[in-house]
């Protein structure tokens, strides 16, 4: 049984694109944080997909990230693909220094955007010099904020998107990773095909007009 579980976990890892912080993530049962009852209904969700209307992306990993990233979503996106703000807010952190495909933890180029309710959206693995916004800038929902890439702890080009309950102290990478500031919150997206328990790995989602 243990061997079967390990095989499944290895398969999940092989299928995944990234984990922004897996080297220090707590060793918790995979999927244990998935609570379908916590997802907002799509029609009342504050979020849209983080790429332009008319484009589609396949989800490579969601709750398989494990806690505390259990509600993160990896979207497979070619390097240079536009990233848009899933929700309006204030840009609170930007890092675009690192080259693509160096696979080094901590080298995840990113944009963090704080929302009016105190939550923070995190857009990871942007391409080098791939941020189109600056700290202190207010962005509208759907506004282009940068371009996707393959920087940091990543095995293939993709966008890691998650929303945390509150901001962490200091610049990324903030530690320890067990700190509650890394707790992700469930997100549904109102401008795509129906989903009731978050997005599903292996499924392509088109960003539809609202």
Name the residue nearer to Zn ion (CB basis): 27 or 41: 27
Name the residue nearer to Zn ion (CB basis): 62 or 191: 62
Q: How far is the CB of 34 from Zn ion (least distance, A)?
A: 15
Name the residue nearer to Zn ion (CB basis): 156 or 208: 156
Name the residue nearer to Zn ion (CB basis): 10 or 140: 10
List residues bridging with 138 in a β-sheet. 90
Name the residue nearer to Zn ion (CB basis): 93 or 108: 108
What is the spatial distance between Cα 19 and Cα 152, in angstroms, rounded to a whole number? 9
Residue showing tokens 């990773």: 177
List residues bridging with 74 in a β-sheet. 61, 160
Cβ neighbours of residue 2 under 8 Å, at least 6 residues apart?
A: none
Name the residue nearer to Zn ion (CB basis): 74 or 150: 74
**What does the radius of gyration of the chain's CA atoms come to, in whole angstroms?**
16
Supply 133's token pair: 């916004």
The binding site for Zn ion (CB under 5 A) comprises 18, 74, 160
Q: How far is the CB of 19 from Zn ion (least distance, A)?
A: 5
Q: How far is the CB of 201 from Zn ion (least distance, A)?
A: 11
Q: How far is the CB of 118 from Zn ion (least distance, A)?
A: 23
List residues bridging with 112 in a β-sheet. 93, 122
What is the spatial distance between Cα 129 and Cα 183, in angstroms, rounded to a whole number? 28
Contact 108, 98 (CB under 8 A): yes
Q: How far is the CB of 160 from Zn ion (least distance, A)?
A: 3
What is the spatial distance between Cα 194 and Cα 55, in angstroms, rounded to a whole number? 17
The sheet with strand 56-61 has its strands ordered as 138-139, 89-95, 110-114, 120-124, 158-164, 73-76, 56-61, 204-206
Which residue has its beta carbon closest to Zn ion?
A: 160
Q: How far is the CB of 124 from Zn ion (least distance, A)?
A: 7
């Amino acid at each position: 049984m243990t061997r079967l579980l390990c095989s499944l976990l290895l398969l999940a890892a092989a299928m995944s694109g990234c984990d922004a912080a897996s080297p220090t993530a707590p060793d918790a049962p995979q999927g244990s944080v998935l609570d379908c009852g916590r997802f907002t209904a799509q029609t009342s969700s504050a979020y849209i997909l983080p790429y332009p209307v008319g484009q589609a992306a396949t989800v490579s990993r969601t709750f398989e990230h494990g806690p505390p990233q259990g509600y993160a979503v990896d979207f497979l996106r070619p390097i240079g693909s536009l990233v848009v703000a899933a929700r309006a807010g204030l840009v609170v952190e930007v890092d675009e220094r690192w080259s693509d495909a160096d696979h080094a933890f901590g080298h995840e180029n990113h944009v963090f955007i704080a929302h009016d309710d105190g939550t923070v959206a995190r857009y990871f693995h942007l391409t080098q010099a791939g941020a189109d916004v600056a700290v202190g800038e207010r962005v509208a929902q759907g506004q282009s904020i940068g371009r996707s890439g393959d920087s940091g702890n990543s095995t293939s080009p993709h966008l890691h998107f998650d929303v945390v309950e509150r901001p962490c102290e200091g610049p990324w990478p903030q530690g320890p990773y067990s700190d509650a500031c890394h707790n992700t919150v469930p997100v549904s997206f109102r401008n795509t095909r129906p989903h009731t328990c978050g997005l599903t790995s292996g499924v392509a989602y088109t960003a539809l007009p609202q």
